[in-house]
Amino acid sequence: MAEDAAAPVATKERPASAHHAGHRDRLRERFLRGGTDAVQDYELLELLLFSAIPRRDVKPIAKALLKQFGSVAGVVTARPEQLMQVDGIKEASATALKAAEAVAVRMLRDQVMNRPVITSWDALIDYCTASMAYRDIEQFRILFLDRRNCLIADEIQQRGTVDHTPVYPREVVKRALELQASALIMVHNHPSGDPTPSAADIEMTRRVRDAAQPLGVILHDHVIVGRGRHTSMKSQGLI
């Protein structure tokens, strides 16, 4: 349901709806002509909110979202309950914003599924960053690869707290065997934004490696994503 309960009633003395409609038409036209580069961040959020809030000026709402969450990425990756703490955001508009995130993540995932990770490593990092970097709790996922190092499955294994995710090597290896995967890439996020591996990260990684190797499953890497940065344990010589 559209969120227009607070919308002003258009009158001859207050033609607010006509003004808003003109602004929306102009913004849509500018966006369609010029794409992302033709609009500012708050205007992009306005475009996402138009359908959910059809008869209200959404510019102040879009600017409030950016102020609260810091960036477009911060907005669309926020939890729905966090979004709805911003004045003017209700369930329909929170859904519109989360749908935008889902489209972006699906698009990035489509670029890496069933493709060799070696030739699509940058795309893989982009996907993992979009999926995990802005989460406020730790999330641990495993990328399962076949003998050609093509990505055949991507699964979230655990969700933890702001600074810890329990990982059980036997469960990781068991799932790899169920999928007939030949190799793994582990990925998790650091909600602090700093992707530096902790001592616990390094120990857990080596335990998974040691459990998988005798069964013919190779741990290629463990990637930690932060906000705008990532660390590959393999490139750091930690595996």
d(CA 124, CA 108): 8
The answer to whether residues 98 and 161 belong to one domain is no
* 163: Cβ contacts below 8 Å, ≥ 6 apart: 138, 191, 192
In this prediction, residues 203-228 reach a mean pLDDT of 92
Last residue of a domain, one of 81, 106, 131: 106
Q: Check whether 128 has a pLDDT greater than 50.
A: yes
Last residue of a domain, one of 106, 127, 160: 106
The answer to whether residues 124 and 225 belong to one domain is yes
Confidence of residue 2 (pLDDT cuts 50, 70, 90): low
Residue 21 vs residue 42, higher pLDDT? 42
- pLDDT for position 13: 34
Mean pLDDT of the chain: 86
The answer to whether residues 87 and 119 belong to one domain is no
The answer to whether residues 92 and 135 belong to one domain is no
Secondary element (H or E) of residue 182: none
- Helices and strands, counts by H and E, the chain: 9, 5
The answer to whether residues 197 and 91 belong to one domain is no
Q: Check whether 159 has a pLDDT greater than 80.
A: no
Task: Report the percentage of the chain scoring pLDDT > 70.
Answer: 87
The answer to whether residues 72 and 125 belong to one domain is no
In this prediction, residues 49-59 reach a mean pLDDT of 90
Confidence of residue 56 (pLDDT cuts 50, 70, 90): confident
Q: Which two tokens stand for residue 125?
A: 């990092």
d(CA 87, CA 63): 11
**Residue 5 counted as domain residue:** no
Per the CB < 8 A criterion, the answer to whether 95 and 80 are in contact is yes
Q: How many domains does the chain have?
A: 2
d(CA 212, CA 25): 57
What is the total residue count of the chain?
239
The answer to whether residues 120 and 228 belong to one domain is yes
**Domain range for residue 208?**
114-232
- pLDDT for position 104: 92
- Convert 65-100 to b/e letters by CB count within 10 Å (16 or more is b): bbeebeebbebbbbeeebbeebebbbebbbebbbeb
**Residue 199 counted as domain residue:** yes
Last residue of a domain, one of 83, 106, 129: 106
